[in-house]
């Protein structure tokens, strides 16, 4: 099996077997990193970093140079035609005619998908807003695998900003794919977004047990909020009422993955949260739960990870960064078809879900203001594109940024006898959401949009509107 001409936008784009194939080739390249100059000779990589970056950008560019290829770059939106109002699609088409592969980082969530859709060449997502950062996840998994040999069944704690940390969102799904147990340890107010949790449960199975206030109190400086246990492992960490958390963690953690507060993504009300951010230091790591835990961090760090830990043999964050070069060398050479690797598929760990697609133009927009699909320069050509991931309650997931939301109203393209009097719209919470065939489903986010399309409110919607007006 080959990865030639594939793109990597989210961790869902690669199966476990394909990731293992990248790791195997990375092992080979790491052993002779200076002897790969003929692998991508004559190939050009476009390095488009429209948000600040040190490790990701330089490791990709180093990787391409180590492979004997060339790099063209753009690192400032203000110095490109995007600042003039050019669409991402047009930019992608042009750069796709200059280069053989694109690596892009962009503040809009879903921007990398648009580039992949329009460029005609392989695209690698170097981070799109708070959405995902799949190559950082490859580096993280590779580090764990190198140190421990396996990922399945490991207890891995995710610490800090779990709301905006794109590295976290990619890592959550990848760890679930590899059958690890995940302990969520967020800084207060920066918990994992609900749409991420819902996707985790729906597509990867397993259980999520949330901590009670009493259980949280027992963890002291360990801000454990919830635990995800893989369906392929015994429920080792079941948080049942009355169970002592200290006893449940007696086996200890295998890894503590620390993240900085993503202050640049905080809204005004969240700015104060950085002052309450938990710190990982020597004192914390004295706890027996961390006795054999690898300390990891995608970097950069600010104040959440003490410098005194740099000399601790459990600290692997600089090794993580260094291993980004062979991992990205392997990835680039595979996507360009210049190398191949043996890929062994594990069907149980590569969930594939085929959801109904909703593309009707009924005024529905992604509610995520950072999604590429709602930006002024992009709405000229990007049409609504959602998966219907649930019918009870009706839930859509944006195909660009993966945010999930529940719309308000539904109707059908096949109303009774085609008579206007029977052309009704209904509450999305009614039975109609499940009874209308997906191919006939029309979804509206406001009564105004439904009525503009020629539909009239059904009795239930009218009663709800009257009740809201009367305040009852």
Condensed to tens digits (0 to 9), the pLDDT of residues 364-385 reads: 999 999 999 999 999 999 988 9
- Token digits of residue 81: 């035609």
Residue 177 lies in a domain: yes
Residue 349 lies in a domain: no
| Residues 466 and 338 occupy one common structural domain | no
Alpha helices in 156-273 (DSSP H): 166-177, 194-204, 213-218, 245-248
Residues with Cβ within 8 Å of 274's Cβ and at least 6 positions away in sequence, in order, are: 261, 263, 266
**CATH number of the domain bearing residue 22:** 3.40.50.1370
The pLDDT of residue 397: 94
pLDDT classification of 237: cutoffs 50, 70, 90:
very low
Residue 367 lies in a domain: yes
Among residues 106, 186, 170, 165, the alpha carbon closest in space to that of 137 is found at 170
pLDDT at 240 over 50: no
| Residues 169 and 85 occupy one common structural domain | no
Distance (Å, whole) CA 319 – CA 295 = 11
The total number of structural domains in the chain stands at 3
Distance (Å, whole) CA 13 – CA 140 = 17
pLDDT digits (tens, 9 = 90+) for 433-457: 888 888 889 999 998 999 998 898 8
Residue 302 lies in a domain: yes
Residue 6 lies in a domain: no
pLDDT at 119 over 80: yes
Among the candidates 313, 342, 371, a domain finishes at: 342
| Residues 377 and 404 occupy one common structural domain | yes
The pLDDT of residue 421: 58
DSSP 8-state code for residue 315 = B
Among the candidates 310, 342, 374, a domain finishes at: 342
Separation in Å, CA 234 to CA 36, 149, 207, 260? 44, 20, 11, 32
| Residues 119 and 154 occupy one common structural domain | no
| Residues 198 and 278 occupy one common structural domain | yes
Average pLDDT over residues 244-252: 53
Residue-range definition of the domain harbouring residue 180: 135-321
The pLDDT of residue 241: 37
Residues with Cβ within 8 Å of 12's Cβ and at least 6 positions away in sequence, in order, are: 173
Q: Which position has the token pair 């079941």?
A: 238
Average pLDDT over residues 15-24: 94
| Residues 307 and 329 occupy one common structural domain | no
- Output the DSSP codes for 217-246: HHTTT----EEEE-TTS--TT---TT--HH
The pLDDT of residue 349: 45
Residue 241 has, within 13 A of its CA and on its CB side, a CA count of 0
The pLDDT of residue 232: 65
| Pick from 234-243, 276-285, 295-304: least confident | 234-243
Max mean pLDDT among 69-78, 122-131, 295-304 falls in: 122-131
Phi and psi at residue 435, to the nearest 5°? -90, -25
| Residues 160 and 80 occupy one common structural domain | no
Average pLDDT over residues 121-150: 95
Residue 283 lies in a domain: yes
Share of residues in the chain with pLDDT > 90 (%)? 53
| Residues 106 and 170 occupy one common structural domain | no
Residue 350 lies in a domain: no
pLDDT at 301 over 60: yes
| Residues 143 and 223 occupy one common structural domain | yes
| Residues 214 and 308 occupy one common structural domain | yes
| Residues 163 and 298 occupy one common structural domain | yes
The pLDDT of residue 220: 59
The pLDDT of residue 166: 87
Residue 409 lies in a domain: yes
The pLDDT of residue 420: 52
pLDDT classification of 398: cutoffs 50, 70, 90:
very high
| Residues 253 and 285 occupy one common structural domain | yes
The pLDDT of residue 407: 94
pLDDT at 335 over 60: yes
User: Where is pLDDT greater, at 227 or 213?
Assistant: 227
Among the candidates 280, 312, 342, a domain finishes at: 342
Among residues 88, 87, 131, 126, the alpha carbon closest in space to that of 109 is found at 131
């Amino acid at each position: 099996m080959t990865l030639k001409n594939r793109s990597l936008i989210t961790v869902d784009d690669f199966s476990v077997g394909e990731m293992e194939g990248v790791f195997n080739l990375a092992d080979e390249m790491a052993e002779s990193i200076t002897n790969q100059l003929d692998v991508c000779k004559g190939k050009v990589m476009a390095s488009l970093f429209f948000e600040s970056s040190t490790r990701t950008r330089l490791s990709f560019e180093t990787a391409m140079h180590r492979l004997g290829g060339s790099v063209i770059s753009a690192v400032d939106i203000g110095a490109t035609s995007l600042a003039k109002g050019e669409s991402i699609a047009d930019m992608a088409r042009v750069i796709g005619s200059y280069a053989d592969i694109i690596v892009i980082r962009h503040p809009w969530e879903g921007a990398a998908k648009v580039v992949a859709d329009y460029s005609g060449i392989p695209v690698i997502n170097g981070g799109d807003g708070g959405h995902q950062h799949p190559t950082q996840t490859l580096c993280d998994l590779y580090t764990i695998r190198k140190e421990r040999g396996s990922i399945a069944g490991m207890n891995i704690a995710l610490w800090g900003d779990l709301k905006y940390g794109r590295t976290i969102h990619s890592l959550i799904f990848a760890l679930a794919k590899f059958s690890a147990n995940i302990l969520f340890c967020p800084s207060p107010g920066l918990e994992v977004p609900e749409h991420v949790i819902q996707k985790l449960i729906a597509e990867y199975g397993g259980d999520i047990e949330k901590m009670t206030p009493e259980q949280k109190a027992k963890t002291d400086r360990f801000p454990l909020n919830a635990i995800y246990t893989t369906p392929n492992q015994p429920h080792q960490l079941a948080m049942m009422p009355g169970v002592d958390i200290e006893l449940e963690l007696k086996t200890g953690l295998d890894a503590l993955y620390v993240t900085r507060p993503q202050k640049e993504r905080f809204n005004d009300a969240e700015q104060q949260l950085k002052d309450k951010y938990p710190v990982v230091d020597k004192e914390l790591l004295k706890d027996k739960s961390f006795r054999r835990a690898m300390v990891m961090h995608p970097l950069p760090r600010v104040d959440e990870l003490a410098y005194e830990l740099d000399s601790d043999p459990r600290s692997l964050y600089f090794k993580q960064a260094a291993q980004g070069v062979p991992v990205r060398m392997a990835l680039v050479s595979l996507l360009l078809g210049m190398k191949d690797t043996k890929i062994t598929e594990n069907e149980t760990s590569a969930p594939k879900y085929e959801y109904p697609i909703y593309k009707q133009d009924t005024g529905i927009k992604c509610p995520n203001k950072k999604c590429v699909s709602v930006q002024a320069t992009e709405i000229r050509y990007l049409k609504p594109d959602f998966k219907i991931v649930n019918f009870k309650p009706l839930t859509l997931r944006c195909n660009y940024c993966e945010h999930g939301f529940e719309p308000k109203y539904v109707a059908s393209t096949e109303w009774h006898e085609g008579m206007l009097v029977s052309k009704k719209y209904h509450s999305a919470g009614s039975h109609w959401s499940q009874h209308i065939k997906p191919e006939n489903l029309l979804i509206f986010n406001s009564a105004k949009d439904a009525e503009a399309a020629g539909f009239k409110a059904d009795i239930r919607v009218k009663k709800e509107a009257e009740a809201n007006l009367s305040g009852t």
